[in-house]
Structure 1
């Protein structure tokens, strides 16, 4: 059996660029702007419980609800984002060079203050 290969989150400059998946926040969750979001999924585990890649987004704000058992770890490469806590109030701001975790069950808003690019890892645990 061949061992799995290492996966780079950003493809090397010599590799052909993969096309991102493009989307925008759902209209019923949009609070400001209408930001275009781009997702380059670089890895999906065969068992379906882990994915990783790079995500970029324009300025805007929308409500988010993370399902229980679905956690995201991220690291900002560019830009500024604020995660507004819908239950406790206030927000946590992240700038390029910083990272964080959005835990399963989090309810609030995701605000892109300056265009952002981040690496992400999403882990889904059984309920």
Structure 2
């Protein structure tokens, strides 16, 4: 596991929560997803997320966005209303903007840092 440090507090501690994509959003596979929330605040959650190969549809609310950096693996974001596919591999970062609708595809088992902001 990678470390996340919190200013003034030290090394964060988190427990793993495990879930799967909702059946009505599932596109391919049924990937197990592991979330290690390192810091939660009323408008922000960040930590480390891991997932097996698979794909599911996502819909971000107009007040929700995510910044992430892929540590290991490979993901693609397919936009619902265009042919644009964003391909993000280890060492690269991505942003899912407010109102985004599309498919989140894990091409190769992934581990990423994430920060989700809702305002």
Normalising by structure 1, report the TM-score: 0.84
1:108 aligns with 2:86: no
1:69 Cα shift?
Answer: 1.0
Structure 2: tracts of 5 or more residues without a match: 1-6
Matching residue within 43, 47, 61 for 2:39: 43
Higher share in strand? 2
Normalising by structure 2, report the TM-score: 0.89
Which 4+ stretches in 1 moved above 2 angstroms? 4-9
Distance in 1 (CA, whole Å) between partners of 2:9 and 2:70 is 21
For these two proteins, the number of residue pairs brought into alignment is 113
Aligned to 2:87: 93
Structure 1: tracts of 5 or more residues without a match: 12-17
Matching residue within 119, 124, 127 for 2:118: 124
Alignment of 1:23-102 (within 5 A): 23-45=19-41, 48-102=42-96
Distance in 1 (CA, whole Å) between partners of 2:47 and 2:62 is 21
